[in-house]
Amino acid sequence: MRTRSVTIYSGQRIRVPEHIQRIDTHSTHGWQMRYGQPSLFFSDGHGPGNGPRPALKRAIVALGERIAALPAPTGLQRDISPNKQNDLPVGISGPILRQRPGRSVPECHFSVNLPRFGAKPLRRSVYIANQNTYTQERYVRALASAISLRRQAEDEYQAAATESKRRSISRL
């Protein structure tokens, strides 16, 4: 898991994992864990056994529990953009009409963006029909196939992101 160096109110520098923020105000000092809902606050407290480092350890334990229980945030777009000019789902464009070399009739297909965790997304075409065989039924079948491809890629992306996040917390 990525970490960063944080300088606290006393001048100490402490390595802190992502999803944990330092809160230092005139009235409170502690760590806020921001992963899932609700966020949790771990106060430095007073007395023996308290302080910034023990509070951070408690926050890291809570972060590990949340990561083990929740899927990782992916940042994948789930909702249709308000600027999209058709009602196709996210990651699907078309129908695209294309004349291939050596063919006498143009063909229609959907273009599907398939996200891959840690790699560049793939583009796949889902054939609908050519200009002579195009029907509403073929359009609906091809769209269902494109949606299925996109959902499968999103599920694989989510699983890979969650697995990566869970592996990273075990290295802390």
Digit-coded pLDDT (tens) for 3-39: 888 888 888 899 999 999 999 888 889 999 999 889 9
Span 97-102, mean pLDDT?
Answer: 88
**Strand residue runs (E) in the chain:** 3-7, 13-17, 20-24, 29-33, 40-43, 92-98, 107-116, 119-130
Question: Binning pLDDT at 50, 70 and 90, where does residue 172 land?
Answer: low
pTM above 0.95, yes or no: no
pLDDT of residue 9: 82
